[in-house]
């Protein structure tokens, strides 16, 4: 019999494989990843691992022995070149492989910045274990690190670089870092945090030119600003890895479109994690999020359904970050303009507080998102309040 084939070497793939075996699927199972490593999680790549605190293998979903024991044929360094849903095959350099069902867990890739790529300057886009390993070498007291993009990756790298003693400049096009995710009130708290830790955070700036200079780079801004760095990190978002799905004629729209059971538009093809733009039964619209927790939740649902189950992916988005002494968890999806006001409760200067994003509706004020900073008992209350009305 043809195997269930999982494409990808991230957390969605790893979780789906685990779920398939835990659900009692004992048939053939093949995982194909173009990376040299077994499936792994990425959050440590901009945090503990980047700071030299986490062991390299800590981020693996399972070690090799687990896959052997569970009879999972994981082929690393194996890129899937095409999928053919009509004939139920995938193509790799080793030839065609038939499948009985297929999971696309191809994730996302960093959005490239031509200004940086064309400059010849040393640039890191942080996505893989190898990217993080190489960047670690740059985070030293004698280094000047320039970071383009004040999003999660940019800010986490800034924190890691400061903790390593490097000097750090962050360039953000908007008036605040994270403005589109958090809105001004909470974004300001993150901006202050980084400035207090010595980051030269420049907001509302546009990078006009990058040139290589010696072993480093010169960055020129539209406002006339000009400075030198030893290394650049670009964190300007990610794009879903949809090329296989597109070439096969699957419905693709900001990711592989799926229903809430993570079924794509061809029979027995599923998509999960960063690549999936899935109908969300609670929110009532499709949602694609690039979050660790979604990779797990999607992986479980996809694994269950590949094993013949009938589950839906209905979890609210959950996200966490760690920067310096700030740990945060966020539930919901307020987006840049999905809310009318933000209420912050607690001790902001002491970095121990909760924040709520509220939207006015006909029947009252709805909580569209909630988060806490360093208030580790808060998460259950946040989960229970998000989606409901304020009383």
Q: Binding to ligand FAD by residue 46, rule CB under 6 A?
A: yes
Write down the least CB distance from residue 273 to ligand FAD, Å. 2
| Binding to ligand FAD, residues 265-304 (CB under 6 A) | 273-275, 290-293, 295
Q: Binding to ligand FAD by residue 149, rule CB under 6 A?
A: no
Q: Which of 19, 30, 35, 115 binds ligand FAD (CB under 6 A)?
A: 35
Write down the least CB distance from residue 234 to ligand FAD, Å. 12
| Binding to ligand FAD, residues 360-389 (CB under 6 A) | none
Q: Binding to ligand FAD by residue 240, rule CB under 6 A?
A: no
How many residues sit in the footprint of ligand FAD (CB under 6 A)? Answer: 37
Write down the least CB distance from residue 60 to ligand FAD, Å. 12
The residue among 3 and 10 lying less far from ligand FAD, judged by its C-beta, is: 10
- 191: number of Cβ within 10 Å: 23
Q: Binding to ligand FAD by residue 153, rule CB under 6 A?
A: yes
Write down the least CB distance from residue 319 to ligand FAD, Å. 4
User: HSE on the CB side for 301, CA within 13 Å?
Assistant: 26
The residue among 32 and 159 lying less far from ligand FAD, judged by its C-beta, is: 32
Q: Binding to ligand FAD by residue 187, rule CB under 6 A?
A: no
d(C-alpha 324, C-alpha 240), whole Å: 29
The region of 38-46, 61-69, 193-201, 338-346 touching ligand FAD under the rule CB under 6 A is 38-46
Query: In terms of Cα–Cα distance, which of 192, 191, 197 is closest to 168?
Result: 197
CB 176 within 8 A of CB 205: no
Write down the least CB distance from residue 363 to ligand FAD, Å. 32
| Binding to ligand FAD, residues 3-22 (CB under 6 A) | 7-13
CB 80 within 8 A of CB 32: yes
| Binding to ligand FAD, residues 69-128 (CB under 6 A) | 79-80, 105-108, 126-127
E-assigned strands of 281-338?
A: 285-287, 318-323, 326-332
Q: Binding to ligand FAD by residue 236, rule CB under 6 A?
A: no
Burial class (CB in 10 A: 0-12, 13-18, 19+), 301: buried
Write down the least CB distance from residue 120 to ligand FAD, Å. 24
Q: Which of 208, 309, 314, 320 binds ligand FAD (CB under 6 A)?
A: 320
The residue among 316 and 358 lying less far from ligand FAD, judged by its C-beta, is: 316
105-to-270, 281, 317 alpha-carbon distances in Å: 9, 21, 18
118-to-114, 224, 360 alpha-carbon distances in Å: 6, 21, 46
Write down the least CB distance from residue 223 to ligand FAD, Å. 29
d(C-alpha 42, C-alpha 153), whole Å: 11
> Any residues with CB less than 8 A from the CB of 74 and at least 6 apart, and which?
30, 31, 33, 38, 39, 64, 67
d(C-alpha 120, C-alpha 115), whole Å: 10
CB 225 within 8 A of CB 218: no
User: Phi/psi at 280 (nearest 5 deg)?
Assistant: -110, 115
Query: Which parts of this chain interact with ligand FAD (CB under 6 A)?
Result: 7-13, 32-35, 42-43, 45-46, 79-80, 105-108, 126-127, 153, 241, 244, 273-275, 290-293, 295, 319-321
């Amino acid at each position: 019999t043809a195997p269930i084939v999982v494409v990808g070497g991230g957390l969605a793939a790893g979780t789906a494989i685990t779920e398939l075996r835990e659900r009692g699927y004992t048939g053939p199972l093949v995982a194909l990843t173009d990376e040299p490593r077994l499936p792994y999680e990425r959050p440590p790549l901009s945090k503990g691992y980047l700071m030299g605190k986490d062991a390299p293998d800590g981020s693996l979903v399972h070690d090799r022995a687990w896959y052997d024991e569970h009879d999972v044929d994981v082929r690393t360094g194996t890129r899937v070149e095409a999928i053919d849903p009509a004939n139920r095959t995938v193509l790799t350099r080793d030839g065609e492989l038939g499948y009985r069902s297929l999971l696309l867990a191809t994730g996302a890739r960093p959005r490239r910045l031509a200004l940086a790529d064309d400059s010849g300057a040393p640039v890191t886009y942080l996505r893989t274990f190898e990217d993080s390993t190489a960047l670690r070498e740059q985070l030293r007291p004698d280094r000047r690190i320039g970071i383009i993009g004040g999003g999660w990756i940019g800010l986490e790298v800034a924190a890691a670089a400061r903790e390593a003693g490097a000097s750090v400049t962050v360039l953000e096009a908007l008036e605040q870092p994270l403005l589109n995710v958090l809105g001004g009130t909470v974004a300001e708290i993150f901006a202050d945090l980084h400035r207090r830790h010595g980051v030269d955070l420049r907001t509302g700036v546009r990078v006009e030119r990058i040139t290589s200079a010696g072993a480093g780079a010169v960055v020129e801004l539209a406002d006339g600003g000009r400075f030198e760095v030893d290394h650049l990190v670009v964190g300007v978002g990610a794009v879903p890895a949809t090329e296989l799905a597109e070439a096969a004629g699957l419905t693709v729209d900001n990711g592989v479109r799926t229903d809430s059971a993570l079924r794509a538009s061809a029979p027995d093809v599923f998509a999960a994690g960063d690549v999936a733009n899935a109908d969300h039964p609670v929110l009532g619209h499709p949602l694609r999020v690039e979050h660790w927790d979604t990779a797990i939740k999607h992986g479980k649902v996809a694994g269950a359904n590949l094993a013949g189950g009938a589950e839906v992916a209905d979890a609210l988005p959950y996200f966490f970050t760690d920067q310096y002494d700030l740990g945060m968890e966020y539930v919901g999806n307020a987006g840049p303009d999905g809310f009318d006001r933000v209420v912050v409760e607690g001790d902001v200067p002491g970095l121990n507080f909760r924040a709520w994003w509220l939207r006015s509706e006909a029947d009252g004020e709805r909580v569209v998102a909630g988060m806490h900073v360093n208030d580790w008992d808060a998460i259950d209350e946040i989960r229970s309040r998000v989606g409901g009305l304020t009383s």
